[in-house]
Amino acid sequence: MTPVTSTHRPSRRLSRLRVIGAALTALLVAGTGTATATQAAPTAPKTSTPPVPVLNWADCQGGFECATADVPLDYREPHGRTLTLAVVRKPAADPAKRKGTLFMQPGGPGNSGVDFVRNNYADLPAALRESFDVFGYDVRGVGRSSALTCFDDARYTRAVTEAKGVPGADAFGPALREAAEFDQACVDNSGALLPYVGTEYVARDIDLLRQALGEQQLTYYGRSFGTYIGTVYAALFPKRVRALALDGAYDPVHYANRPYAYDLPQYLALDGAMSRFLDWCAADQATCGFGDGDPRAAFEKLKSDLDAQPVPTANGGLANGYTLVYRLMFNINEGKVIWPSLGAALRKAQLRDNTSFLLRPPSPASFDFLGPNVVVECVDRDYPRGLRRLKRNVTAFAEAAPLLGPAMAYGPPTYDHQHATACVQWPGERISRYDGSYRAKGSAPILVIGTTGDPDTPYHDAVALSRKLDNGRLLTFEAEGHTAFGRSACATDAVTGYLLDLTVPDKGATCADETQPPTSAPTVAPPGTTLGELRNGVNERVERIGNVR
């Protein structure tokens, strides 16, 4: 069996699947409004059982053990070509208490599960570290597991440098063309892998890894996009679920099958979080330090001013209004505790001080995450092919979320809000996409955690998932910010008890212990927070779990 890597050249047929943005824009003008690239319908995998990987563990520093796992590239051919996944674990600290293996799945798509375990192991509750081997892996197409490549670093840098915080009225056509270029770059650079990176195949990989680890059932914590992976796993293998904790959940039906219905609430959630921050800023100008009495007006002016005169960065780049929006999109995830730091960083940006963490353009470290983020969602999601409908929706989303939405709607393909232009034109097959029932009938109870002010995965998505699952139970965290585990002692205790002893919170259970904004911008992370900006210098979309102990 021959491993596949992302450097394998695309087949002749894939290389011919070119999507020319200018021509598609012309179709819009002509009123035809339909993209013509074909999509292959998903095909059910054959019944032949794929071989279980053999994991040869070796020490990889800090008490961690690393290995690789060969899994089928295409589950329709389970004994055909293989793809190699990078895996990591840290054995249970107390063998006498060991209950099994805890799978840790980060958000994304695009984040490294290997790094997620390494970066967060020390902050896990002691009871989890004592009782479980803590396990993570890089999913197919990500990180050390045949990483996908679309735009190279230079092309991505040009795309984010030319993007605007306040796009003009004619922004849709250029956005469509740039998305078509991105799609073609994916085909040119990773064409052989593209059809096989969807979440159904990721879930099937997890089941092979479960078997390779000798586990009869799966114990799993997933956050953000990791909740969708866990949901698909439960749908495919409901009887193999021991415990699934899904934190910052997706509405799976909207995500996969009604993407425009999924996208609008995400725009509104992000803008809502920004709006609540600006309201706080107006009410507490002394702590916020930004806005001179009218933070909303100051923010709109700042975006335009930075577009007109970008700020040179220390490494020779340029930061503009798009840079500001991009950084806010990720860093507002930290919740109220980071609000004073956001105010201070906005004030620095106003003064054209390039030490503001909001004026650091996306870097190659970001691009390693952003490329797979777009590709996986284009494979997973069934966007209607009409270009007129695309334009109508993108325009409506930008208007509905005026603070951050326009930059996202008309920017280059990067994060969730900017996928529609690429995905409507997506040229490849989507063999590995899952579109079946999400009930997980017959599973053990599944814990779904939603944060009411989540700017990334709207709270109502968690409510929807808990209702779609036959055995879902919702835990609510009343707070700003993305996800709950590690940010709330109450939620962390609930998740820990569930993973350890299968104790499910009572119906209607709520946590309300968010750390409130400090009275000034802190220089170190307070207990119970992550403050990724202050700890890491700049958030390159690294998934972190806070330490609430």
Residue-wise pLDDT tens digits, 266-306: 999 999 999 999 999 999 999 999 999 999 999 999 999 99
Range with lowest mean pLDDT among 60-64, 119-123, 521-525: 521-525
pLDDT tens track for 443-468? 999 999 999 999 999 999 999 999 99
Structure-block tokens of residue 46: 């054959």
Q: Helices 199-212 and 225-236 meet at what angle, rounded to 10? A: 70
Arithmetic mean of pLDDT, 369-396: 97
Inter-residue contact 354 to 311 (CB < 8 Å): yes
Share of the chain above pLDDT 90, in %: 83
Q: What pLDDT, on the 0 to 100 scale, is given for residue 522?
A: 62
The candidate with the shortest Cα–Cα distance to 117, out of 151, 86, 152, 95, is: 86
Structure-block tokens of residue 15: 């290389």
pLDDT tens track for 485-499? 999 999 999 999 999
- Find the Cα–Cα–Cα–Cα dihedral 330, 334, 340, 346, rounded to 10°: 0
Count of positions (residues) in the chain: 549
pTM for the whole structure: 0.90
- Asked if the model's pLDDT at residue 218 lies above 60, the reply is yes
- How many Å from the N-terminal Cα to the C-terminal Cα in the chain? 47
Burial class (CB in 10 A: 0-12, 13-18, 19+), 230: buried
- DSSP letters along 367-420, please? HHHHHHHHHHHHHH-----BHHHHHHHHHHHHHHSTTTHHHHHTS-S-SGGG-H
Euclidean distance between CA atoms 295 and 549, whole angstroms? 35
Q: Where are the alpha helices (DSSP H) in 36-152?
A: 113-120, 126-131
- Longest CA–CA span in the chain (Å) reads 71
Q: What pLDDT, on the 0 to 100 scale, is given for residue 55?
A: 98
Range with lowest mean pLDDT among 151-160, 203-212, 397-406, 539-548: 539-548
Look up residue 324 and give its amino acid. Answer: L
Helix (H) or strand (E) holding 446: strand 446-453
Q: What pLDDT, on the 0 to 100 scale, is given for residue 521?
A: 64
Q: What pLDDT, on the 0 to 100 scale, is given for residue 36?
A: 36
Q: Where are the alpha helices (DSSP H) in 284-363?
A: 285-288, 295-308, 321-331, 339-350
Q: Are strands 132-137 and 82-90 parallel, antiparallel or unpaired?
A: antiparallel
Look up residue 318 and give its amino acid. Answer: L
- Asked if the model's pLDDT at residue 1 lies above 50, the reply is no
pLDDT band at 546 (very low <50, low <70, confident <90, very high): low
- Asked if the model's pLDDT at residue 548 lies above 80, the reply is no
Share of the chain above pLDDT 70, in %: 86
Beta bridge partners of residue 69, listed in sequence order: 85
Q: What pLDDT, on the 0 to 100 scale, is given for residue 3?
A: 46
pLDDT tens track for 473-488? 999 999 999 999 999 9
Q: Are strands 65-72 and 82-90 parallel, antiparallel or unpaired?
A: antiparallel
Helix (H, G, I), strand (E, B) or coil at 341: helix
pLDDT band at 525 (very low <50, low <70, confident <90, very high): low
Say how many C-beta atoms besides its own lie within 10 A of residue 315's C-beta. 9
Euclidean distance between CA atoms 51 and 70, whole angstroms? 9
Arithmetic mean of pLDDT, 185-192: 97
CA angle 184, 188, 194 (to 5 degrees): 85
- Token pair 């570290």 is found at 129
Q: What pLDDT, on the 0 to 100 scale, is given for residue 22?
A: 40
Structure-block tokens of residue 489: 């002692």
Inter-residue contact 496 to 318 (CB < 8 Å): no
Structure-block tokens of residue 445: 């109870």
Q: What pLDDT, on the 0 to 100 scale, is given for residue 314?
A: 87
pLDDT tens track for 393-444? 999 999 999 999 999 999 999 999 999 999 999 998 999 999 989 999 999 9
pLDDT band at 177 (very low <50, low <70, confident <90, very high): very high
Q: What pLDDT, on the 0 to 100 scale, is given for residue 271?
A: 98
Euclidean distance between CA atoms 99 and 501, whole angstroms? 10
Q: What pLDDT, on the 0 to 100 scale, is given for residue 523?
A: 62
Secondary structure of 128-173 as H, E, C letters? HHHHEEEEEECCCCECCECCCCCCCHHHHHHHHHHCCCCCCCCCHH
Average pLDDT over the chain, rounded to whole?
89
Inter-residue contact 283 to 340 (CB < 8 Å): no
Q: What pLDDT, on the 0 to 100 scale, is given for residue 524?
A: 62
Euclidean distance between CA atoms 470 and 159, whole angstroms? 44
Q: What pLDDT, on the 0 to 100 scale, is given for residue 48?
A: 82
Inter-residue contact 202 to 139 (CB < 8 Å): yes
Look up residue 314 and give its amino acid. Answer: A
Contact partners, residue 362, CB within 8 Å, separation at least 6: 156, 157, 160, 323, 326, 370, 414
Q: What pLDDT, on the 0 to 100 scale, is given for residue 517?
A: 86
Number of C-alpha atoms within 13 angstroms, CB side, residue 62? 12
